[in-house]
Amino acid sequence: MNEASDLVIATCAIIGAGLGIFNLARTYLADSERLRVAVIEGGDQEYPGVEVVNVSPFPITVTQIGTVHPDGQGVDGIRMEPKYANENRLPKRIEARHSHLFRISKRETSARTGYQPRYTFVRTALGNVFTSERFLDRLIRRGKELSRLKVKDV
């Protein structure tokens, strides 16, 4: 009877450890998915801009939008279209499960084609940074930052 209870306890401990690691990884990955950032280049019918989608169940306040150059140097702000100054004013609160398009000026769009930024970032009021990078690129960059092989961009 004692061996059977030891086996049950060991099995529960192994399952608990596995679930703990799984939840840690899920939480880390879910943390990066609360806000989605997409750069809309624009075309004939579309206006260029940065679309911020809040997929979390809580409202989020955007305090800064910027880009990171290919050399790793961050630029604090993006020139917004003056015609939409009231809509693009920062800080901007985005309700849960809503999105907002921050319209970029034509001048900024032409400048972006010249220096081709590595990615666009959005900083929230809590200090979290969300980027327009692909998932794998973001994971590699964060891994390098954590292992101190790379200095943080923003």
Beta bridge partners of 92: 62
Res 62: pLDDT? 94
Q: Tell which wins on pLDDT, 74 or 13.
A: 13
Res 92: pLDDT? 94
Dihedral of alpha carbons 146, 152, 153, 154, sign? positive
For the segment 39-59, the average pLDDT, to the nearest whole number, is 83
Beta bridge partners of 122: 65, 130
For the segment 24-37, the average pLDDT, to the nearest whole number, is 73
- Residues 6 or more apart in contact with residue 123 via CB below 8 angstroms: 62, 63, 64, 65, 66, 129, 154
The domains of the chain are located at 1-31, 34-146
pLDDT band with cut points at 50, 70 and 90 for residue 76 = low
Mean pLDDT for all residues in the chain:
84
Query: The domain 34-146: what is its CATH number?
Result: 2.60.40
Res 45: pLDDT? 65
For the segment 98-125, the average pLDDT, to the nearest whole number, is 85
Residue type, 79: R
Res 44: pLDDT? 61
Q: The pTM is what? A: 0.75
Alpha-carbon distance 152 to 145, whole Å? 6
Residue type, 55: V
Q: CA distances (Å), 112 to each of 7, 40, 49, 104, 105, in order?
A: 62, 12, 11, 10, 11
DSSP-derived secondary structure letter, 105: P
- pLDDT digits 0-9 by tens, 85-103: 888 889 999 999 999 999 9
pLDDT over 70 at 31, yes or no: no
Instruction: For residue 9, give both structure tokens.
Output: 């306890």
